[in-house]
Every structure is written in C-alpha cells, then in structure tokens.
Amino acid sequence: MKLLHTADWHIGRTLNGYSLLDEQKYAFKQILQIAKDEHVDGIVVAGDIYDRAIPSTEAITTLNEMFKILNIDNHFPIYAISGNHDGAKRLNYGRDWMEFNNFYINTLLEESFKPIETNDTQLFLLPFFDPMDARVYYQKKGLDEASVKDIRTIGDAMSLVLDDMYKLFDPAKKHVLVTHFAVSPSAKDIDLTSETTSKVGGLETLNATQFDKFDHVMLGHIHTRFASPSENIRYSGSPIKFNVKEAKTTTNKGFYIVDTTKKSERTDLREITPGTDLIVLNETWETLVDPKFYSKQPVDQDWFAITIKDFDRTKHVSTNIRAQLQDIYGTVVELDYKNIENKNTEAESQDINQLNDESVVDQFFESITGNELSKEQKSIVDDIFVELRSE
Amino acid sequence: MKLLHTADWHIGRTLNGYSLLDEQKYAFKQILQIAKDEHVDGIVVAGDIYDRAIPSTEAITTLNEMFKILNIDNHFPIYAISGNHDGAKRLNYGRDWMEFNNFYINTLLEESFKPIETNDTQLFLLPFFDPMDARVYYQKKGLDEASVKDIRTIGDAMSLVLDDMYKLFDPAKKHVLVTHFAVSPSAKDIDLTSETTSKVGGLETLNATQFDKFDHVMLGHIHTRFASPSENIRYSGSPIKFNVKEAKTTTNKGFYIVDTTKKSERTDLREITPGTDLIVLNETWETLVDPKFYSKQPVDQDWFAITIKDFDRTKHVSTNIRAQLQDIYGTVVELDYKNIENKNTEAESQDINQLNDESVVDQFFESITGNELSKEQKSIVDDIFVELRSE
C-alpha cells in the first residue's frame, strides 16, 4: 500500500504570539493535493497533532475541518496517533465513530495492540506514552509486580510493547509502526534542532535497533527529517518551520510517500513550499535600513526574525527600532540586537510542560535541597505516580 | 417513533467540590435500561451535556463512554444539541463521523435546518444560540442589513429560525423540535428553581405560543420538569439533583418516553431513583446529635446538607461542628447555621459565565459610571459584537 507520512502538525501553535494557522492551512493544502495526485491509500499523522493538551477552539475547528476534508470528502483512510503535546484522553473523544469511515486514531497505549490490516500491510499505531503508562498497563494486564517495577525507562517499556506486537505479526504482510519518540542509532549522531530530547525517565532516546523487525517505522516528535536514524526509520518532520533556528536552514519542509511493500528511498520525499517564509537577518543597522539591501528582501509576504549586529544602542536612543524595521519589513516576529561590547546570549530555560511528573518532582527537589533524589527516593516517587495513575 | 427525552446531564458538575460523576453514571444506567426495556427508537439529549465549555478530561472520558454504550454498543440513534453550558465549537468536534452511526449532534445554528427524517417524524435539532449568533447567521445568509439589525431579542431570532424550519415541514410527518431555552406561557407562571433565567438579550424567556406548529417540543435548560409550559412543550429536567434547593423537593427526577405520533401524556414519565440521595436537614444541634434522631437517617450511603437552627455558637466554641456531624452523617456537602439572633441570608451573586458578552459590557458600564447604556450606545455595542463574530 502507498502511505503518506506526515507528523508534528502542532495545530494552534504560535510564534512569538503570531498565529501559524494560515501557514498550517497552506501546508495542508499541499499535502492534500499530493495525496490526491499520487492516489495514496492512507495518511499517517505521527503525533503532536495539536500543539497543546487543551487546544483553542480555533485549533479544534481547524483540525476537524482538515480531517473531514481528508477522510470524509476525499475518502482517504487516516492513521493517526497522539504525541507528547497532545492531550491523549481529550483527543480520544469520538475515535470509535471515526473508525466507521477508516479514520483510526490511537491515543492510549492499550489501544496499540490491534493492528489495522490491509491486503498487504499491518499498521501498528503506537501513541506517545511514558514508562508510567506502561507500568499501569502491564499491571492491569497481570504482569508480576517485580517485572512491572523493572519498567524504569522508555526503552524497558518499549521492549515489552514491541514483543507484544511481534506476537501479532502476520508473516505474509509488511509491518509498519507509527510512533512518536526520539529514536537514534546513537545519541550523539542526532541533531535535535527543533524538539527537546525525549523527556521520559532515564534514557533520553530509544535505540533504532529495537525496531529492526518492522519494515517501516514512521516517526513523529523531532521536527526535522534529517534526524532520521536510518533509511526505514524516519522522521517526516513538521510541515512548516516553527522557530527561528529552523528558519536558518534553507531546505524546505516536507513529507514522505512510501510504498510499504518496498524499501524506503530518498525519492519518497515531497517538499512543501512555504506560504509565508520566515527570513532570518543578521545585519548591521546601517545595512538593515539601506534601501539597496531591503529592496531585495521579500518584504511584502514574509516574516522576519532580525538580529542587529554590532549595535551601539546609545547612538539610537531616540529611535523606535521596532517601528522603523516594521515599516520596512512588515511582520517582524523576532527582534534582537548584539552590542558591540556586550554579546547577548540566548537564555536557556526549560518548559515545565515538556517534563513528565517524575522529572518535575526530581528537579523541584534538587532546586530546593541542592541534592539529587537517591535511588530509593526515586523509586518511591515512581511508585506513587503508578498508584495515582491506576486510580 | 418512540423517543426517550432527557436533558441537562451537566457531566462533570460538582456540588460544593464533591464530584457528581458517580451519581450521573448511576442515573445513566437507569436511562439505558429503560431505553432497552421499552425498545425506544432514539435518545434525545436536549443540551447542557457537559457542565462547562472546557470540561475535565474525566468528564470527556465519561461522556464518550456513555455515548458509546448507547449508540455503538446498543445501536440507539442519538439526537443531541449543545446547551448554554456547552462549548458549542468544542462539542462540534467529530460530529460528521458520528452521523455514520445515526448519532446526530448539532451545536451551531447553521446546522439546524436539516431535519433528521424517520418514517413518521421530522426531528429538528436546534442548539442553544443567542441573538448575536442569529445576526451572524442571517447576515451570512444575505438577509438585508435592516432586518439583521432588527434581531434584538431571542424571540426575534426564534421567529426567523422557526419560519425557516416550517418551510422544511413534510405534512405527512410529525414534527419534533429539540432545543434549549427558557420557554414559558407567561414569565410569571414559571418556577425557575434550578437554572438562571435565559440570559439572552432583552426578553428573558421565549413564549410557548411561538412553537405551536410543532407536535412535540423537547426542551432542556430548566432542571425541573414542573417548569414545562404545556403538555407538548416539555422539560425533561436533569437526571439528578444538582443542589440543595432541588434536594428539598421529595419528587424523583426522571425523563420521558414519547410516542411522536401521539399526544404527550403524564404517563410518559419514567422516574430515576437516586443512588446517593441528598438529604436536607434543618434541625437544632441537640436534635442533630441525638442518636434517636440520626439513627433514622440513611447515614451510610447518602449526602447531607445540614442547617443547624436556633444555634448559639458561643456555647460551642470548642466544638468542631463539622467534624462531629461528619462522624455521625458521613458526607456533609453543605453546613450552615442560623443564630438565634442573627438570621443568615443567602448571598445573591451573578455568575459572569451566565451572561452574554453584550450584558457583560452593559453591566460593567453601569457599575463604573452609574448610568445605563443609552439606546444608541447599546446599538454600537451590538454592532461591534456582530462584526467580531463574523470574523
């Protein structure tokens, strides 16, 4: 079968307060058009469909419309999972009715052990989960207590999950796994430019060798396809650029069209043309306000992230820097300057929403006491969360 | 056809912080059982399905399960609308897939002009809306500007809506309207014990005579069936008691089973037995702590709302009143006392969530300036909101 593999739509995301919804709709239209042109048999959306667990009304309406166009209007089966940004239980609403029209969406670990069968392929839809979810699941399933407690890392959990999937393998078919994690051949090889490393306890990333038995692993989570750990274990990347770091790369975003009966190839890639591109400028003030320079910029349709280099703020105290640049460039979504003397450094901060409950307790303890939790204390914290989640 | 008419489930509601979810599930089981026993052809849920626009994850999971049991497991068609408590656009998610299995849910005015057709009945599902929604809808539909501006009250809006529905009437069939408003033969006849009066601009309630052309009007909004304006225009009431005022009534909650080809009758009522009843006590301290009194109370399973009458707090300064009563009565969801001298009176306050945007502006203006908005000012405010909503 022919599958379109996309991921990390993050519907509802903003960039410094600017809505990306129009850009997301523009990318969606291209995905739809190519799906139609190439007569794909289904669309894989590998998690982080929304940007937040409780999306805005506008984000919900937009996503519903996109799914409707793909699945109801154009009869494409959808194979979707939730990612770490999605609210798994919220996104679960209505899924049983969606199946009436070949729209499959899994958001809970327990839903992952029923592959979708086509004539030549078994599709396993494994949403993002954390080791705690696996503990709860395997505890309910009757795994002995010691083995449940041995689930410490996402790698531990994944071994159990994959073994259960292998039992369901039909040897006459190809096997596709759709999931949402950080996967790498080795941690240092990976270029995590656009998404924090997987925050699940213990090990940060999964190892690609774990997935050897699958013909294709279609991943979400990391926003660049260049982070793909191997030829058949791939990130499609997000359909649009989400931040200034990404904007600095000149390559287009995209998605894959994969024939599941064949090996993946570089030619599977389909590029997405940005509607509003994000242009990064790093120039002196004199250059930025020079018509010879800015007349060559696409100032009418694009967004700009501008860093003024070698800037002496004292010489411009009476200038409204932002207003003047907006007059020239239109939408300036980010503005920064580097002094001649003081070089600004970007502040590093951690988003608490990116951490699991366990890590929040760990880090809180450490910031208050100055000490890390001991192994015994960590174990107690783990057990408390398992108990809480079982309720 | 035979319809089960229920409304105002308010899934996720709490009573002074106590979750009503178990009680709601208990009532649901009875609705399901009677639907099966009486072989109904469909379940009407007339709005306020959730208690809040952004319900808790637990509320979403519970509602999804209830709908699944009714519609997927037991093959009952569902005819549902959103009420003023529901987030119309959020609850809209997935509705197009639900229709694949005869689960119809309308949450937007524009969806209301496509009746569901059965062999003997046309069902019109009209969700809660306000005059502004009607303005936006009729403006888009191309109604002339003057007529759009004439939509001031919910009565104005309803006249237009109903006229459009009448045009769709099949004279060979019965006509059922499912909607969610305060409707009364005349404002003073109505006993609004459990829900605030409709907060839509201008007129507070709709008049029953507006709905004369329908054979049956199945209403939600007011939580007691005793507020029903006529024999064929009825509130089913909520399936459970939501507050202490309601608990004081000794009658059970319930729902209706209606044969749409016949007139409504008193015998349509099916009662729901509470699982955990809410017992209201208004007694002296001495009586409350007297074993002769409390041994007759259902102290093991029920919830209590207790008012201690003729209470002299100074004689009990060292007593932990609440702890002592909880030892005796179990769950005390409300505790109040009336001094011998000072009679407590209940504070009246207005819930801002119960007001439409227009009224919030009105009241804010009044509380700041001491003056009401003039007719011209009101008109400007109206127009601004119409414009905002069109966007």
Nearest to B97 among A57, A89, A103 (CB): A103
Residue, of A341 and B92, whose pLDDT is higher = B92
Question: For position B266, what pLDDT does the model report?
Answer: 86
**pLDDT beyond 50 at A188:** no
Instruction: Identify all chain B residues contacting A60, using CB atoms and an 8 Å cutoff.
Output: 89-90, 92-93
Mean pLDDT of A279-303: 89
Instruction: Identify all chain A residues contacting B97, using CB atoms and an 8 Å cutoff.
Output: 71-72, 94, 97-98, 100-101, 103
Is A100 in contact with B97 (Cβ distance < 8 A)?
Answer: yes
The letter for the amino acid at B236 is S
Q: Which of B 6-65 lie inside 8 A of A, CB atoms?
A: 54, 57, 60-61, 63-64
Question: For position B346, what pLDDT does the model report?
Answer: 41
C-alpha radius of gyration, chain B, whole number: 23
Question: For position A195, what pLDDT does the model report?
Answer: 44
Is A93 in contact with B68 (Cβ distance < 8 A)?
Answer: no
- Check the CA dihedral B56-B350-B106-B90 and report its sign: negative
Report the alpha-carbon distance of residue A230 to residue A222 in Å, rounded.
14
Is A94 in contact with B92 (Cβ distance < 8 A)?
Answer: no
A98–B contact, CB cutoff 8 A:
yes
B72–A contact, CB cutoff 8 A:
yes
Question: For position A318, what pLDDT does the model report?
Answer: 76
Nearest to A92 among B64, B98, B100 (CB): B64
Is A100 in contact with B101 (Cβ distance < 8 A)?
Answer: yes
Question: For position A349, what pLDDT does the model report?
Answer: 45
Per-residue three-class SS string for B319-366? CCHHHHHHHHHCEEEEEEEEECCCCCCCCCCCCHHHCCHHHHHHHHHH
Residue B280's nearest CA partner among B310, B245, B312, B253 is: B245
Nearest to A98 among B57, B92, B94 (CB): B94
Question: For position A317, what pLDDT does the model report?
Answer: 75
Report the alpha-carbon distance of residue A367 to residue A352 in Å, rounded.
14
The letter for the amino acid at A43 is I
Q: Residue B92 has which token pair?
A: 């809209």
Instruction: Identify all chain B residues contacting A87, using CB atoms and an 8 Å cutoff.
Output: 57
Report the alpha-carbon distance of residue B63 to residue B68 in Å, rounded.
8
B97–A contact, CB cutoff 8 A:
yes
Mean pLDDT of A97-113: 98
CB neighbours of residue B56 within 10 Å: 18
**pLDDT beyond 90 at A263:** yes
Looking at chain B, which residue has its C-alpha nearest residue A98? B97
Q: Which of A93, A100, A105 to mutate to test the interface with B (most CBs of B within 10 A)?
A: A93
For chain B, how far is it from start to end, CA to CA, in angstroms?
Answer: 41
Looking at chain A, which residue has its C-alpha nearest residue B105? A94
**How sure is the predictor about A376, in pLDDT bands with cuts at 50, 70 and 90?**
confident
Beta-carbon contacts below 8 Å between A and B: 57
**pLDDT beyond 70 at A171:** yes
Contact A71, A77 (CB under 8 A): yes
B75–A contact, CB cutoff 8 A:
no
Question: For position B143, what pLDDT does the model report?
Answer: 95
**How sure is the predictor about A315, in pLDDT bands with cuts at 50, 70 and 90?**
confident
Report the alpha-carbon distance of residue A29 to residue A25 in Å, rounded.
6
The least confident of A79-88, A345-354, B59-68, B201-210 is: A345-354
ipTM of the complex, rounded to two decimals: 0.80
Contact A216, A176 (CB under 8 A): yes
B103–A contact, CB cutoff 8 A:
yes
β-sheet bridge partners, residue A308: A283, A337
pLDDT tens digits, B171-206 = 999 999 999 999 987 444 444 443 444 443 333 589
Looking at chain B, which residue has its C-alpha nearest residue A67? B94
Residue, of A112 and A195, whose pLDDT is higher = A112
Is B97 in contact with A101 (Cβ distance < 8 A)?
Answer: yes
* Chain B: closest CA distance from residue A355 (Å): 19
Cα→Cα distances A290→A286, A325, A329, B28, B368, Å: 6, 11, 12, 71, 51
- Count of CA atoms in the C-beta half-sphere (13 A) of B30: 19
Per-run averaged pLDDT (10 residues), chain B, 391 residues: 97 90 96 98 97 94 98 98 95 97 98 97 97 96 94 93 97 97 66 42 70 96 91 94 81 95 92 90 91 87 89 79 90 84 46 69 76 80 74 55
* Chain A: closest CA distance from residue B158 (Å): 26
**pLDDT beyond 70 at A193:** no
Strand boundaries in chain A, DSSP class E: 2-6, 14-15, 18-19, 42-46, 78-81, 103-106, 116-117, 121-126, 174-180, 183-184, 206-207, 216-220, 233-235, 253-259, 269-272, 278-284, 303-311, 331-339
A87–B contact, CB cutoff 8 A:
yes
* Chain B: closest CA distance from residue A80 (Å): 14
Nearest to B96 among A54, A72, A92 (CB): A72
* Chain B: closest CA distance from residue A391 (Å): 12
pLDDT tens digits, A213-252 = 999 999 999 999 988 999 999 999 999 998 888 887 778 9
Q: Where are the alpha helices (DSSP H) in chain A?
A: 21-37, 57-67, 88-91, 95-98, 131-140, 145-149, 154-166, 244-247, 285-288, 291-294, 321-329, 357-369, 375-390
Nearest to A97 among B54, B57, B103 (CB): B103
Q: Which of B52, B97, B389 to mutate to test the interface with A (most CBs of A within 10 A)?
A: B97
Query: Which SS3 state, helix, strand or coil, does residue A217 take?
Result: strand
**How sure is the predictor about A350, in pLDDT bands with cuts at 50, 70 and 90?**
low
pLDDT tens digits, A40-61 = 999 999 999 999 999 999 999 9
**DSSP 8-state symbol, B380:** H
Contact B300, B328 (CB under 8 A): no
Instruction: Identify all chain B residues contacting A73, using CB atoms and an 8 Å cutoff.
Output: none
Is B92 in contact with A64 (Cβ distance < 8 A)?
Answer: yes
Q: Residue B382 has which token pair?
A: 């109206």
A380–B contact, CB cutoff 8 A:
no
* Chain A: closest CA distance from residue B123 (Å): 22
Instruction: Identify all chain A residues contacting B60, using CB atoms and an 8 Å cutoff.
Output: 89-90, 92-93
Which of A97-106, A179-188, A293-302, A329-338 is predicted most confidently? A97-106
Q: Which of B69, B90, B92, B105 to mutate to test the interface with A (most CBs of A within 10 A)?
A: B90
Looking at chain A, which residue has its C-alpha nearest residue B63? A93
**pLDDT beyond 50 at A194:** no
Cα→Cα distances B296→A247, B133, B288, B290, B328, Å: 74, 53, 11, 10, 12
Report the alpha-carbon distance of residue A369 to residue A372 in Å, rounded.
8
Residue, of B383 and A201, whose pLDDT is higher = B383
Report the alpha-carbon distance of residue A102 to residue A79 in Å, rounded.
8
Residue B137: phi and psi, rounded to 5, are: -60, -50
Instruction: Identify all chain B residues contacting A61, using CB atoms and an 8 Å cutoff.
Output: 89, 92
Contact A182, A190 (CB under 8 A): yes
* Chain A: closest CA distance from residue B101 (Å): 7
Question: For position A354, what pLDDT does the model report?
Answer: 61
Looking at chain A, which residue has its C-alpha nearest residue B391? A58
Nearest to B89 among A61, A100, A103 (CB): A61
A103–B contact, CB cutoff 8 A:
yes
The letter for the amino acid at A50 is Y
Question: For position A1, what pLDDT does the model report?
Answer: 97
Cα B150 to chain centroid, rounded: 28
B186–A contact, CB cutoff 8 A:
no
Q: Residue A280 has which token pair?
A: 């990064």
